[in-house]
Each structure stands twice: as structure tokens, then as C-alpha cells.
Amino acid sequence: MSDTTKKAGLPYKWRVLISVIFGIFMVILDTTVVNVAFQTLRRDFGANLNDAQWIISVYVLSLGISTPMSGFLADRFGIKRMYVVGLGLFVLGSFMCGVAPNLWFLVAARALQGVGGGIALPLGTAFLFNAFPPEEQGVALGIFGIALVLAPALGPILGGFLVDQDWWRAIFFINLPIGLLGIFLASRWLKEQLSDHKPPLDILGLVTSALGFGAVLYAASIAADEGWTSTKVLTWFAVGGVSLVAMIFIELFVAKEPLLDLRLFKKSRFTVASLIGWVSVIALFGAEFLLPVYLQALRGYTALRTGFILLPLAATAGVFTPLAGRLYDKIGPRPLIVVGFGVLLLNTWQLSLLEADTPISWILFLLALRGMALGMTVQTTLVAALSVVPLSEVARGSALVNATRQVVQSIGVAVLATILASTISQPVKELQDFFQNQAAAAPAAASAASGGICSPQQGPPLGVTAGGPPSGAVPGSGQPGVAPGGGLPAGVPNITPELVQRACAENIAGFERAYRFTFYVAIVAAFLGLFLPGWPLKWAGRENTGGAPVAAGH
């Protein structure tokens, strides 16, 4: 390593890694932190569920629109410049969220966050590929993966604590010091990579990709609530599907310099690794979606306590992700994927057997095991896919992988939510909707009284006594959800022990079906992993696709 690659004794590649970790950690942390605060935001802004849902949906929508553009922007204006711009937009959006005076100002600020995150995330990955030599790219992405698994785990804990203290605006303000540090490090440490060729903007590709990815992501975000056969959902899926088909035709046959290089799918390793990556986000992240619902709605745990229960998943993933990266460089992706998904299969089957009284110690063990599987697979598929992409095109390859994963993950979560909802009968649904609305209206009282649907030792949900109003309610007091005279509002079923038991049983059956679905998905991923290169066959590492790491002094 020459002197030009060092600064204050630290090689350039490690400066890149540190810079990218700080920037991307902020982007990923914000996703799960905001989810925890959703009901609080809805209450404070006096928003109904459909309007408040835009706080979540618009962020996913903006990510889906901006991510495909990130590669082009890097080629056109420089990867360092656009990475810093992406972080800057995210920090600015975070500040605007923190000072938002009303719901729609907050929604607009969340959109700005999504645009910034969609630009920064794939470019951060591209920086790592260009900075590290081929034989260390697995290690680099493995260490980087620690931030990717820790951020979603810390989000519920941090968000839960701040929401409990009624400091929801701090959820957004904490991004400011992290983001500004990320911008400072990137501006000071990263080297610009400018191409001699300035590609023209593929306008048709931009329009069709933005409309296609955006419409599909939006449809997926509302499918579970609206119903997959609703006119609204079908319309948006149709718009997205037609737009994506048009985009594929344009990118392959019309555009001289396409926005997304779909020809990368001609490379078998890229295609197989991408397929496994799509499958893995459904199979693996099912736990991150399903278990919090199980722990809070059924067992009655707070968001903060739920976050602590989920920590073993992040802890073991944080250990195995860099270890898997080191092994990837030596033995290739096949053994890691096959073993990882083998562990996941056993783990998912056990999770499908959860009952209302399953010991938390057993759940902690299953989560730790799942973290091991996550650490061995998620980053491995990303490195394997990009290992056949020329270094000069890694930014566009990363944009393609990230954009498609976002779509698949959103659809997967919507499918799991639908599977859960499909087991719930109408009387139970009315009961749960009533208490969800009551929690949104009076979260402090709800938190104090909530016992969870399947927590008989604490009583029925929100402290409701069998056949009567919420416990502690004074007839005629005007307490949210209680009609004058102490009765339940019109349309709310009579709450009996039998109805509560039925609600618990139906929800448990829903979780079983959802986890069985992810079990079968994991079987597909394990099978596809056999087609990747690696041990027991010879593993040569990154294919010779041209280019040299920037760490070489360029």
C-alpha cells in the first residue's frame, strides 16, 4: 500500500468503510424507529389511519423511486458527490420531520428522507467494492453488515424509549449528529470517482422505473389493509406492472444507455444470487415483522421491552456477518447460503409452533439462531451478485439489486400481513380494531392497562373486564371508547372470555400459517444456493471483470 492511500496511518479502504457505516447506519435506523412511533404521530396530528399511513408509505415510495436513479447520478456527477448529497437530503429531511407542524409537512419531509436514503444506500455499497481488493470484499461487506443488522434492532429500543418519554420529535433529531458526522467523514476521506464518459439521462427509463417501482411499492404497502382484491390495490398493481414491463422493454431494446442495466441478469451468478436475495428478505425478515406483532398484540409487551427481546437476533447476526464475509473470501457463497438456510429452516419451523405461553427464554434462543442464519446469508448474496459486475458499473449494479429487493420485501411483508389477517373472524377483527383505535386515542391509558390478547394473567386487552367496559372506567366519564352510562360503543361486540380466547386462538393460527409460508420460501432459497459457486468446488473469488480498486491510489 503506497503512502498516497494512507492518512493518519489509516489505509484508504478502512476510511471508506468507517465513512459508509456512519452514513448508512443513520438511514436504516430511521426506518424502524419511526414505525414504533406511528400511533403516537397519528394521535398528535389527529390523523385517521389512512392519512397517517402515508408517513410510512411515502418513505418506501421515495426509496423505490430514487434507488434506481442512484447509479446514473453517480456516473453523471460523481459517486462521492452524490453520496454526500444523498446523506445531506436525508439529514435535511430529518430536521424537517422533527419540526413538522402538521401531518402533511411531515409526509413531505419523509419523502425527502426517502429520496436521500435511496441515493446513499446503494452508493455506499459501491464505494466498498471499489475501495477493497477482490480478496477482501467479503470481509468489507461483512463488517458493513454489522451496521445493517444492528440499526433495525436498536430502532425499536430507541424509538420505544423516546415515545414512552413523549419525545417523538427526538426520533428525527438524533439523525442530525450521526448524519452530519457521516457527511463530514465522507467529504474529508472519500475520493471522487469521475467517469470520462457522461451518460445521458434515460428519460423513458426514469419515468417507467419511477412509476413502476413506486406504484408496486405503494400497492404493497396498502394491500393488507385495503385487501388484495380492492379496486385501489389492483389499480396500483396494474399501473406498476405495466410500467415495469415497459421499463424492461425500454432498457433492453430502446435506451442506448439504460438507467438500469438489466443485461446483468445474463450473468448466471448475478441472477441466482439476486433470486436468493429476494427470497431471503421474505424468509429472514419475516421474524422482524411477525415477532413484534406476536409479542405486543398477543403477549402484551411494550415496544421497548419487545425491542430488548429482539436483541439476540442482532447480536448473533453481528457476530456471524463479518465471520461469513471472511469465509466467503476463502470458500465462496455456496456453503454459507446452504448452511445458513438450513439453520433457517429448522428455526422457522420452530417459530411456526409458537403458542400463547411459549417461554420467552425459548424465543430468545430461536432469535439468536435466526441471527446466525441472517449473518450467513443476506450480505453473502449481495457480494456474490456484485462479484460479476465490472467495477465501473458497481454503482448501477448495486442500485438494481437494492431496488428489486425493496419491491420484493414490501410485497413479502404485505403477504405475511394478509396471511395473518385471513385467519381473523369478523367479531375478533371488530374487537381488535376497537382497541387499536383506543390505543391511538389514549396511548398512556392503553399502555397502562394493556395485557395482550393472549395474556390471561393480565386480563383481556386493555384491561377490559368480561362483558363490561374498560376496567377502572367511570360510567359517563367520557373515557375514549366508552359510551355514556358505561357501555361499549355501538358495533363493538360483547367482550366475553370466550371471545378473548377465540381471538387468541385465531391469532396464534395466523402466526403459524405465516411462518409456514416463510418456511417454504426458505426451502426455495436453500435449493437455489446449490447453484452458486464455492466449496467443495474450487473458488476463485471475484470474476475478472476489469477495473481496479480505488484503494490502489486512484
As averages over each run of 10 residues, the pLDDT of the chain (554 residues) reads 51 92 84 79 82 84 88 92 96 96 94 94 90 88 85 83 86 91 93 80 92 89 85 94 96 91 92 90 74 83 84 90 92 94 92 92 94 90 91 89 87 86 83 65 50 58 38 33 40 69 89 91 90 85 52 36
- 181 and 268 in a common domain: no
Other C-beta atoms within 10 Å of 10: how many? Answer: 12
- In angstroms, the CA 528 to CA 58 distance is 33
pTM (2 d.p.):
0.81
Domain end: 191, 211, 229, which one? 191
Q: Which amino acid is at 323?
A: L
In a domain, 348, yes or no: yes
- 345 and 208 in a common domain: no
Other C-beta atoms within 10 Å of 50: how many? Answer: 10
CA dihedral 214, 215, 219, 222 (to 10 degrees): 50
Domain end: 225, 241, 258, which one? 258
Domain at 54, CATH number: 1.20.1250.20
- 170 and 268 in a common domain: no
- 248 and 173 in a common domain: no
CA dihedral 318, 417, 62, 45 (to 10 degrees): -100
Residue 286: the pLDDT is 67
- 133 and 33 in a common domain: yes
Would you say 70 and 119 are in contact if contact means Cβ atoms under 8 Å apart? yes
- In angstroms, the CA 423 to CA 490 distance is 24
In a domain, 497, yes or no: no
Residue 64: the pLDDT is 82
- 208 and 160 in a common domain: no
The DSSP line for 491-552 is: TPPP--HHHHHHHHHHHHHHHHHHHHHHHHHHHHHHHHHTTS--TTS----S---S---GGG
Domain end: 167, 191, 215, which one? 191
Residue 552: the pLDDT is 36
- 113 and 169 in a common domain: yes
In a domain, 224, yes or no: yes
- In angstroms, the CA 389 to CA 192 distance is 20
326 alpha carbon, distance to own chain's centre: 25
- In angstroms, the CA 48 to CA 54 distance is 11
In a domain, 240, yes or no: yes
Residue 7's φ and ψ, nearest 5 degrees, are -145, 120
- In angstroms, the CA 504 to CA 543 distance is 53
- The number of folded domains in the chain is 3
For residue 117, what are the domain limits?
7-191
In a domain, 324, yes or no: yes
- 522 and 386 in a common domain: yes
In a domain, 277, yes or no: yes
Q: Dig out the grid coordinates for 156 from the structure.
A: 425499536
- 70 and 164 in a common domain: yes
- In angstroms, the CA 21 to CA 430 distance is 44
Cis peptide before 536 (omega within 30 of 0): yes
- 333 and 216 in a common domain: no
In a domain, 503, yes or no: no
- 215 and 167 in a common domain: no
Residue 492: the pLDDT is 52
- 392 and 318 in a common domain: yes
467 alpha carbon, distance to own chain's centre: 40
In a domain, 280, yes or no: yes
Residue 415: the pLDDT is 87
Residue 365's φ and ψ, nearest 5 degrees, are -65, -45
Per 3-state DSSP, the chain is made up of helix, strand and coil in percentages (nearest 5) of 75, 0, 25
Q: Which amino acid is at 257?
A: E
